[in-house]
A = this chain, B = another copy of it.
Amino acid sequence: MIFSSTLLENAVTQFARLPGIGKKTALRLVLHLIKQDAVEVNRFSEIIATMRNEIKFCARCYNISDTDLCNICSNSMRKQEMLCVVENIRDVIAIESTQQFNGIYHVLGGIISPLDGIGPGQLTIDALVERITKESIEEIIFALSPTIQGDTTIYYISKKLKPHPVKITTIARGIAFGGELEYADEMTLAKSISNRIPVENFMVSGH
């Protein structure tokens, strides 16, 4: 693409670096912004910079947060004894959107996947074990994607937690094997939380 404006070209290049955005889509987005009011576009730009500069990760659960402790962890109305383990922030948003879970979270930052070079050391598993020791958690619900990697992660963590008197469950297999948690509809996801099963049962009947 040949541009007659460097300002335009730079903006298109920036947008085209985003995942899933090609040059033609980037151009369409930039031309859309040119048509918008300058005040609006400056607000857009400011909100993105502020977000990146001020966003934090919760010191307790590693969820994305505006403050040191995220507003789920610091909400006294939520059951502090029920902890849901998820792979990433998108999964927290997906579960929160079902409005069916009233406990707290722990974000692993990924799942064990040797093929992708992700081992337990790169995840927040040690921090999770520490939480179990320090906090009065009664139940851990694994809400991981139902894949071999997800199962491996559940197996690894539940073995690590064996010395601790905590109930370990996993969300029900309402979601098709190999599917991605974040794309499940809210109803299926809500069902799978209420029908959660103890890990012992699941490990016997599983693959």
Residues 17-64 of A contacting B (Cβ, < 8 Å): 18-21, 24-25, 27-34, 36, 38, 41-55, 63-64
* Total copies of this chain within the assembly: 2
Task: Give the CA-CA distance A36 to B52 in the complex, in Å.
Answer: 9
A:151-173 near B, CB below 8 Å:
none
What residues on B are CB-neighbors of A55 within 8 Å?
A: 5, 7-8, 34
23 contacts between A and B (CB under 8 A): A1-B97, A3-B96, A4-B71, A5-B55, A5-B66, A5-B70, A5-B71, A7-B50, A8-B51, A8-B55, A10-B51, A14-B44, A20-B25, A20-B28, A24-B182, A27-B93, A28-B90, A30-B51, A33-B51, A34-B51, A36-B52, A38-B53, A45-B46
Given pairs A42-B53, A45-B45, 5 additional interface contacts (CB within 8 A):
A1-B97, A5-B64, A7-B66, A38-B53, A41-B48
